[in-house]
Amino acid sequence: MKKIIITGNVGRDPEMRADQTGNQFASFSVGVSVGTKQNPKTDWVDVTCNGKLSDLARNYIKKGSKLLVEGFPSVNAYLNRENKPVGTLRIYASNIEFLSKRDDATDSDDTSNGEPVYNLPEVNQSPMTSSGSLTSDDIPF
Host domain of residue 124:
4-138
What average pLDDT does the segment 123-138 reach? 50
Helix (H) or strand (E) segment spanning residue 58: helix 52-60
Would you give the DSSP letter of residue 124? Answer: B
Q: 29: domain CATH number? A: 2.40.50.140
Q: Is 45 helix (H, G, I), strand (E, B) or coil?
A: strand
**Above 80 in pLDDT, residue 21?**
yes
At 109, is the pLDDT very low, low, confident or very high (cuts 50, 70, 90)?
A: very low
CA atoms within 13 A on the CB side of 16: 14
pLDDT of residue 82: 94
What average pLDDT does the segment 84-103 reach? 88
Phi and psi at residue 95, in whole multiples of 5°? -155, 140
What average pLDDT does the segment 79-99 reach? 93
Amino acid letter at 140? P
**Residue 97 to residue 9: CA distance in whole angstroms:** 12
What average pLDDT does the segment 102-124 reach? 42
At 35, is the pLDDT very low, low, confident or very high (cuts 50, 70, 90)?
A: confident
43 CB neighbour count, 10 Å cutoff: 13
pLDDT of residue 135: 57
Helix (H) or strand (E) segment spanning residue 54: helix 52-60
Strands 40-50, 85-98: pairing is parallel
**Residue 98 to residue 61: CA distance in whole angstroms:** 9
Global pTM value: 0.68
**Above 80 in pLDDT, residue 64?**
yes
Q: Angle at the Cα of 71 (from 70 to 72), degrees rounded to 5?
A: 150
pLDDT of residue 122: 47
Question: How many residues in the chain?
Answer: 141
pLDDT of residue 47: 96
Looking at the structure of the chain, the number of domains it has is 1
